[in-house]
Chain A
Amino acid sequence: MSFIISTHINYYFICRRKLWLFTHGIHMEHESDLVYEGRMIGEVSYTDRSKKYTEIEIMGSKIDYYDPNRKIVHEVKKSDQMEIAHEWQVKYYIWLLKQSGIEDVEGILEYPKMKIKKKVILTEEDENTLKQIVKDIELIINQKSCPPCIHKKYCHSCSYFDFCYIIE
């Protein structure tokens, strides 16, 4: 059984092709570096608070920093370039928690490098949107052909750049 995980939500906003490639197991080598870097930021910025947080996994999605006392999900990111994607990722976490019976959770999106914090809440309207997003994601990842290249500026910082742009 495979779940829609927060990475899917994230990629859905960034690029559908990336979403498709990712779910077909086509991962790029230096992606792992990014994951590593992300983790380092987390570790370095939160060493003092690490005890307060719990790492939990719900339906395949891993939440690194959940504060069960105050009911807050923290999500740490490197740059705010893809803020929309990050926001929906956090909303998705809150939604997953809600589905497993934990109500009234809030989220905080943090960009320690830029010293920015942002509060995230889940409205009823968001929940409906998320339902639609999940349906869309399922359609995309089950489609036989790979969605086309988006040819956006973002491609240049995407780990799939070489993969997408190499022609001959």
Chain B
Amino acid sequence: MKKSYYLFNPGRMSRKDNTLKFTPVDEEGNEGVPKYIPVESVNNLFCFGSMDANSSLFNFLGKQQILVHFFDYYEHYTGSFFPKDYLLSGKVLIAQAEHYLQPEKRMSLATRFVEAAAFNMLKNLRYYDNRGKETGIQIEKIESYLNQIPFAETVDSLMGIEGNIRMSYYEAFDIIINEFEMGNRTMQPPSNEVNALISFVNMLCYTLCLDMIYHTQLNPTISFLHEPGERRFSLALDIAEVFKPVLVDRLIFSLLNKRQLSDADFDKNLQYCLLKESGKKTVIEAWEAKLNETIKHRSLKRSVSYKHLVKLECYKLVKHIMGVEEYKPFKAWW
């Protein structure tokens, strides 16, 4: 089984035959005991600490189709090493671009993303509403915004509706989360624990979507809801929209309500709030556990992991784009 490796400590990564060798290096430049990672076990690498590497390492990673994601000191995603696309298809690329260029085709896809995201948000809110957390007001608001979708004529106005839905949804976070307060959603920099957590896990979700896109014929820069090239690989943002409520938000609720994270896991300052390394490790462990969790899939009739659900979403998009079958986005059915 391939897995993700998260590198927190500074050090040097190099190629040693068919393994990766990681040599930790401390602040004085002293080398620690190297660790060896068989390359077949690596799905991707996340670099949080500073990493020294040379081009032969990247040539090797590229051949093995391993993506590397980089983050700065403040946990911001800064970019990815994205090896040469190995599943290229000119026909899929042209069809994908066509779905962006033709307004009706683009709107049709963009609408599906927003509706599925809202559906999955409502699912979360109803779950808590049934358990005595009163989120009825937010549910109603979101439902009324949903009714506006058929009247949206442009992707911009759709984005506006999406923004309103998300705002109402975030309002419910203070009702759902017991210990911490979120207040307004602030992103850069996050102002409190809940915001810090949302930013961090959203970013994990984004990289997950990017990884899955990489292993299909889809081009990550041509998106439908988000404006292509606006920032990052915008198709990953489109797909993440659908999965955030199920993967990110549920994880945050459970981490906080089960007190798996405490004040001590955050680094708080007047200006910002960030996860400390202890906090990041707890979150990543929970995130990995979530991705490997399986559910019985309705149409495949077998168990699939949450992670695989994202890949399946990419297949559905390829099918839609190629005119094989209309895209039915993932909606939490349980």
Contacts and interface: CB of A to CB of B under 8 A. Distances in A.
Interface string B89-132: 11110000000000000000000000000000000000000000
Contacts of B219: none
A43 to B, nearest CB: 17
Nearest to B324: A146
B44 interface: no
Interface in B55-111: 87-92
Contacts of B323: 144-146
A166 interface: yes
Contacts of B325: 167
Interface residues of B, number: 28
**Interface SS, A side:** loop
Interface stretch (A22-30, A75-83, A109-117): A22-30
A167 B322 contact: no
A26 B215 contact: no
What's the interface size class on A, roughly?
10 to 19
A26 B318 contact: yes
B300 interface: yes
A24 B92 CA distance: 8
Contact of B319 (A27, A161, A163): A163
A165 interface: yes
A24 B89 contact: yes
Nearest to A30: B215
Interface in B140-182: none
A64 B306 CA distance: 40
B45 interface: no
B299 A25 contact: no
A116 B228 CA distance: 55
A162 B300 CA distance: 7
Contacts of A163: 315, 318-319
A25 B300 contact: no
Interface of B: 87-92, 215-217, 297-300, 308, 311-312, 315-316, 318-319, 322-325, 328-331
Given A166-B315, A168-B331, 13 more contacts: A24-B89, A24-B92, A26-B217, A26-B322, A27-B87, A27-B89, A146-B324, A162-B315, A165-B299, A166-B299, A166-B312, A168-B299, A168-B329
Interface of A: 24-27, 29, 144-146, 161-163, 165-168
20 contacts: A24-B91, A24-B322, A25-B88, A25-B90, A25-B91, A25-B217, A26-B318, A27-B87, A27-B89, A146-B322, A146-B323, A162-B308, A162-B312, A163-B319, A166-B297, A166-B312, A166-B316, A167-B299, A168-B299, A168-B328
Q: Which 7 A-B pairs have the closest CB atoms?
A: A25-B89, A168-B328, A167-B299, A146-B324, A166-B312, A163-B315, A24-B91
